[in-house]
């Protein structure tokens, strides 16, 4: 009885922790959308708002880490609970860094605005930034639903963002060669592009954490095909186990 009571309290602690983590995720998502808006409208004010929001993201990171430490110290979790807590720690760190990148974009936008406008390829960046923000949103959805299918699609999308980044760098170089006066603005854009690329990486890391919680497979630093193969293997094993369990259950009821 006591045991059940304790574990259900543990469950509610975990639920709270997830809620806080996803609330932080929502904040980072909003930061990214705002940074994108600042970039699109070339707005100094919106960029300022992003920089202000960054402080809240940092505060939430510390609060979640604190909560996490307390839970681990008191409950000494194992198996899936331990994987979940480890993943919460990883996701928090990744979200905080994605938030940092959003702030970085805002800072660059301010620098571009104060330097005056140039005819630089901003629309490409907007598309990439939109894609990266969407990836973060999707990775958080996948975390909330513990949905590995979406997590795998995010791993694939990260490849697209990386490719966009490479293409963008080549494009910027042609701009800089054509007109050396655009170099300093181009460098700002390069930093923005790099920040967007990093946001994509953070989304990918979050997706990997989802896979780790659900499947127990660590697919970090693996190629996409390897990761997919491992996940398929684990799923197959799980299914086999389920069938075995069903047989055992059946057998037991027969014997009674």
Partner 1 sequence: MNFIVILLALLLAVCVALLLIERRRARRFVRWITDPAHNPMPEMSATWGLAAAYTRRALGREQAHANESAARLATLLAALDALPVGIVLLDREGRILFCNAIAAAHFELDPARDRGQHIVHLVRDPAFVAWHEQHADTPLEMTAHPDAPGLSSRLMVQRQPYGDDCALLLFTDVTAQRQTEAMRRDFVANVSHEIRTPLTVLAGFVETLQSLTLSRDEQTRYLALMAQQTTRMQALVADLLTLSRLEGSPPPGMNERADLRELTTQCAAETHALSVRLYGADAQKIEIETAPDFDLAATPAELRSAMSNLLANAVRYSGAKGKINARWSRENNGGARFEVADNGPGIAPDHLPRLTERFYRVDRSRARHAHGEDGTGLGLAIVKHVAERHGGTLQIISILGQGSRFALVFPQARVVAGQTEKSL
Q: How far, in Å, are 10, 11, 22, 130, 153 from residue 5 at the CA level?
A: 9, 10, 26, 45, 39
Q: Where are the alpha helices (DSSP H) in the chain?
A: 2-41, 44-75, 79-115, 122-145, 148-178, 183-215, 224-255
Label residue 175 exposed, middle or buried (CB < 10 Å: 0-12, 13-18, 19+).
middle
Using CB under 8 A as the criterion, what x/- string covers residues 82-121 for binding partner 1?
----------------------------------------
106, 140, 152, 214: which one contacts partner 1 (CB under 8 A)? Answer: 140
70, 74, 145, 242: which one contacts partner 1 (CB under 8 A)? Answer: 145
Half-sphere exposure of 2 (CA within 13 A, CB side): 0
Contact segment (CB under 8 A) with partner 1 among 139-147, 185-193, 195-203, 237-245 equals 139-147
CA 185/CA 205 separation, integer angstroms? 30
Nearest CB to partner 1, comparing residues 132 and 189:
132
Contact segment (CB under 8 A) with partner 1 among 26-34, 151-159, 202-210, 228-236 equals 26-34
Residues in the chain: 256
Query: What is the DSSP secondary structure assignment for residue 218, as one 8-state letter?
Result: -
Is residue 167 close enough to count as binding partner 1 by CB under 8 A? Answer: no
CA 203/CA 128 separation, integer angstroms? 14
Is residue 216 close enough to count as binding partner 1 by CB under 8 A? Answer: no
Contact segment (CB under 8 A) with partner 1 among 79-87, 115-123, 134-142, 215-223 equals 134-142
Is residue 30 close enough to count as binding partner 1 by CB under 8 A? Answer: yes
DSSP 3-state assignment of 236? helix
What minimum distance in Å lies between the beta carbon of 223 and partner 1?
Answer: 28
What minimum distance in Å lies between the beta carbon of 27 and partner 1?
Answer: 5
Is residue 14 close enough to count as binding partner 1 by CB under 8 A? Answer: no
- The tokens describing 47, both together, are 């960029």
Q: Which residues of this chain interact with partner 1, rule CB under 8 A?
A: 15, 18-19, 22-23, 25-27, 29-30, 33, 133-134, 137, 140-141, 144-145
């Amino acid at each position: 009885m006591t045991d059940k009571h304790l574990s259900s309290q543990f469950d509610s602690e975990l639920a709270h922790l997830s809620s806080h983590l996803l609330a932080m995720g929502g904040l980072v998502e909003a930061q990214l959308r705002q940074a994108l808006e600042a970039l699109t409208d070339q707005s100094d004010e919106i960029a300022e708002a992003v920089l202000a929001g960054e402080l809240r993201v940092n505060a939430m990171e510390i609060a979640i880490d604190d909560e996490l430490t307390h839970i681990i110290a008191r409950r000494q979790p194992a198996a899936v609970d331990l994987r979940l807590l480890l993943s919460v720690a990883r996701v928090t760190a990744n979200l905080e860094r994605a938030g940092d990148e959003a702030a970085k974009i805002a800072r660059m936008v301010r620098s571009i605005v104060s330097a005056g406008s140039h005819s630089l390829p901003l629309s490409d960046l907007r598309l990439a930034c939109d894609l990266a923000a969407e990836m973060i949103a999707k990775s958080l959805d996948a975390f909330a639903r513990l949905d590995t299918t979406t997590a795998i699609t995010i791993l694939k999308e990260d490849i697209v963002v990386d490719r966009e980044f490479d293409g963008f760098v080549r494009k910027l170089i042609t701009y800089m060669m054509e007109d050396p006066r655009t170099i300093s603005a181009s460098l700002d854009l390069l930093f923005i592009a790099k920040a967007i690329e990093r946001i994509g990486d953070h989304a990918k890391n979050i997706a990997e954490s989802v896979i780790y919680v659900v499947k127990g497979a660590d697919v970090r630093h693996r190629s996409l095909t390897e990761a997919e193969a491992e996940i398929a293997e684990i799923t197959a094993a799980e299914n086999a186990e389920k069938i075995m369990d069903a047989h055992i259950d059946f057998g037991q009821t027969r014997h009674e």
